Structure 1
């Protein structure tokens, strides 16, 4: 970022908030304590005034502060969504990925990349190399994008609501499958989501890239459950996840308010 941007960020810094945030994101760059709404407002200002491309052309390696990296990701997300230039969005995404080194920048960046939902087929193919990566945050980025831009949308591009209550009846539909292959093939029955059948195979493996990749996989699995409980239950029964990620997924499901008590009891009984 430019010196002018850095000066503005320094003027908005809140040392107390920065210390608190640092405790939640210990691995990040020096943290000023600028709150996320202020960063979003700044990013939208630059995008509105068409200054954002000039700002993101600078090298991400020069970002001295956490907030500079966060702002860069927001600019890419908001700017590409406004212009709907998917090729440029992919180029900027690829350039930014190596500088994502913490969960907070990763997740905010993914949530801002709404252009992905307009070009899902192209992005599905583009993300395959990141999903297959051995780098922790490349895997986390791709999994969080699947959650935010693929999982929650139906065939017509309408947002699918999360279920408010999940009962035993919801999870026990056609539960007895003869084989893992059959469970995967039938896992998206009546889901309305064209990517669910692709997401389960992505999750059906050990996650050895690191803690933040494992937690993203667990989070995505839990979100699959609260939206598509029967299909996800069938996946969990045959899941090839490593034990840590699998058990974290069960924990996240039980942390949700949506499953009924008897559903949570069943999920807890599945712990490895």
Structure 2
């Protein structure tokens, strides 16, 4: 079934949910249940299926779809985020919708998948960068992670790297999904801006657990040299 529509109603959205259920894979659902928090409801629909549906929806009236009230099922959140990433709109609407949507994220999996899909960030890169502190200062763990993963995906480049490292180093939060996102960003930044990231980590006053996780991520990376992996191991706290 093709989901390109000019309008969206609650009844039509109900039909879409039925279609999602029909596309569910029980083995995949069980696999997902081991990776994401058990309190999150998951149908077991694979990411490529959801992305294909999002493309169809965005070709129609994407705004009407985004405005329809939705549940908190893992796949519903992913689909909404994928449509938001595809939906073409002005910056003011994009930022309004993104700032609202990020509070619907419930786990690292839908957070990271949606971050990778928000390609309009590239279109509004400079303006959007000024909005990211809103996420980094949020109380919700996953919203903070959202801000970190967005910076990792879209701002590890000239003109932004210094501010990105400064922002990451200022976050004092040892909650697992925030701390691991910081560690992942450090390991990714090291591969692109080795000297700047090295200097930041050596001077950092971040919690020991975050620095140790960053070291672990770097030692697991194929983009960090053997010599650097040995060096950072000596920084373990």
TM-score, structure 2 normalization: 0.90
Aligned pair 1:213/2:178, yes or no? yes
2:86 aligned residue: 78
**SS of 2:155 mapped into structure 1:** helix
CA distance in 2: counterparts of 1:103 and 1:268, whole angstroms: 27
CA distance in 1: counterparts of 2:211 and 2:188, whole angstroms: 13
CA distance in 1: counterparts of 2:72 and 2:213, whole angstroms: 33
CA distance in 1: counterparts of 2:94 and 2:205, whole angstroms: 33
Aligned pair 1:148/2:158, yes or no? no
Per-residue deviation at 1:51? Answer: 2.9
Asked if 2 retains the 8 angstrom alpha-carbon contact of 1:135 and 1:209, the reply is: no
Aligned pair 1:249/2:203, yes or no? no
Query: Which of the residues 14, 18, 23 maps onto 2:34?
Result: 23
Asked if 1 retains the 8 angstrom alpha-carbon contact of 2:85 and 2:120, the reply is: yes
Aligned pair 1:271/2:236, yes or no? yes
1:229 aligned residue: 194
Query: Which of the residues 114, 117, 140 maps onto 1:112?
Result: 117
TM-score, structure 1 normalization: 0.79
Per-residue deviation at 1:258? Answer: 2.1
Query: Which of the residues 74, 94, 102 maps onto 1:97?
Result: 102
**SS of 2:180 mapped into structure 1:** helix
Could you list the runs of 4 or more consecutive aligned residues of structure 1 that deviate by over 6 angstroms after TM superposition?
A: none
Asked if 1 retains the 8 angstrom alpha-carbon contact of 2:30 and 2:44, the reply is: yes
Per-residue deviation at 1:121? Answer: 2.1
Per-residue deviation at 1:101? Answer: 1.1
CA distance in 1: counterparts of 2:183 and 2:224, whole angstroms: 16
Q: Which structure 2 residues correspond to residues 1-40 of structure 1 after superposition, within 5 A?
A: 2-27=13-38, 29-40=40-51
**How many corresponding residue pairs?**
226
**SS of 2:76 mapped into structure 1:** helix
Asked if 1 retains the 8 angstrom alpha-carbon contact of 2:136 and 2:148, the reply is: yes
CA distance in 1: counterparts of 2:125 and 2:39, whole angstroms: 30
Query: Which of the residues 52, 55, 74 maps onto 1:41?
Result: 52
Asked if 1 retains the 8 angstrom alpha-carbon contact of 2:174 and 2:207, the reply is: no
Query: Which of the residues 128, 131, 135 maps onto 2:140?
Result: 135
Q: Which structure 2 residues correspond to residues 155-166 of structure 1 after superposition, within 5 A?
A: none
> For residues 47-97 of structure 1, what are the alpha-carbon distances to aligned partners after superposition, in whole Å with 9 as ceiling and x for unaligned?
12x1322111023xx314211111000001111xxx241111111111211
Asked if 2 retains the 8 angstrom alpha-carbon contact of 1:136 and 1:209, the reply is: no
> For residues 171-227 of structure 1, what are the alpha-carbon distances to aligned partners after superposition, in whole Å with 9 as ceiling and x for unaligned?
xxxxxxxxxxxxxxxxxxxxxx10011011111135326211111111111111011
CA distance in 1: counterparts of 2:38 and 2:236, whole angstroms: 30
Gaps of 5+ in 2: 1-9
Asked if 2 retains the 8 angstrom alpha-carbon contact of 1:207 and 1:245, the reply is: no
> For residues 1-26 of structure 1, what are the alpha-carbon distances to aligned partners after superposition, in whole Å with 9 as ceiling and x for unaligned?
71011011000011111011111012
